[in-house]
Homo-oligomer: A and B are copies of this chain.
Amino acid sequence: MEKVNIVMVGFGRVGQAFFDLLQSKYDYCRRRYGLFLEPRGIVRKKGSILLSSTQRVLSPSYFATDDLHDLAEWIPAITLADLLDEFGSGVLVECTPTDLKTGEPGLSHIKMALEKGWHVATASKGALVVQSSQLKSLAKEKNLLIKASGATAAALPALDLGLYSLAGAEILAIEAILNGTTNYILTRMAEGFTYKKALEEAQQKGIAEPDPSLDVEGWDTAAKIVLIANQVLGTDFNLGDVQVRGIQGISREVIEKARKLNKVLKLFGKCYREGSDSPWKIEVGLALLDDDHPLARINGTNKGIIFYTDTMGWVATSGGKSDPRGAAAAMLKDIISIYWRNT
């Protein structure tokens, strides 16, 4: 039995889902893994909350309110540094919004946590896209782990597969469908929709943002494949290294042509190299897949990734909820894997 201190920073949709999950899974994690996962504090932009263990059973909406000044537990003076110092060690759960240019504010939070001896589980991509190798060196030096399942494709176990299940094999190439919005649009277009109509439907369903550019121009896929490559292949890519082509304004004819060839079009993030000594290349763009390609049937908002290896052949994984609850579940998994050895 082990107590694990958890400090959260960021309390948007993913943060709230994580806090909710942590409470509902508290007893399960104690029974199954011998871990007491104790939320100790939540740092929001508008102020922070110190939790005593008796306060564990609180609804996320309680913290989500803007009117925190009315709450007794509301301690505006407490900073992230205070909380990390107070509890000494544990896991920082990073859920602040992603900034792909600066990596902030996640970058500063993650650095601070590592310097103070805390492991990190992050749902925020920015820091690992911008300063992957520096953060990895810092973690290694301190003998700590940075886990980023929640930042790549929510509950799709992309990093687990690359780092854990393929250990000992050399990865020759990676192909991945990592963006639900674009995959949904392409799926609907293969069913007969125009780009415009498919996008509108995705927006109505809350799948696509009102401004869908980050998704449809391929940048979300680019950030995720950069993160995966840096974690799994040990590269030091950033967004500027990726050749990015999105799907914006793609015509029905292109989709139809693919269908007539018995093929499908998918937006891929790809890593490959010419030979085992050549440098890795990374790109995002439409890929024309044979019908029996393992990712050809990943439809709708589903995601998938395939690794080609020297000794294991190809190994693919697909599925995994891609909503805030899926991302939260991925972070919980990461925390468990830091402490639990699967005996």
Contacts and interface: CB of A to CB of B under 8 A. Distances in A.
Interface of A: 21, 25, 28-29, 33, 136, 139-140, 143-145, 155-157, 160-161, 163-170, 292, 294, 296-297, 299, 306, 311-321, 325-326, 328-330, 332-333, 335-337, 340-343
A26 to B, nearest CB: 11
A34 to B, nearest CB: 11
Given A161-B165, A297-B297, A313-B320, 10 more contacts: A21-B311, A145-B343, A155-B313, A157-B161, A157-B166, A161-B317, A164-B342, A294-B319, A312-B319, A315-B317
A137 to B, nearest CB: 10
A58 B332 CA distance: 45
Contacts of A313: 155, 319-321, 326
A173 to B, nearest CB: 13
A25 B311 CA distance: 10
A136 B156 CA distance: 29
B311 A169 contact: no
A203 to B, nearest CB: 22
A168 B32 CA distance: 8
B333 A168 contact: yes
Nearest to A136: B343
A297 B343 CA distance: 33
A183 to B, nearest CB: 14
Contact of A29 (B140, B168, B306, B325): B168
Nearest to A143: B343
Nearest to A336: B167
B168 A25 contact: yes
Contact of A164 (B296, B330, B337): B337
Nearest to A298: B294
A334 to B, nearest CB: 9
A337 B136 CA distance: 19
A143 B341 CA distance: 10
A332 B170 CA distance: 12
Contacts of A336: 167-168
Contacts of A315: 155-157, 317-320
Contacts of A29: 168
Contact of A329 (B145, B296, B311, B318): B311
A157 to B, nearest CB: 4
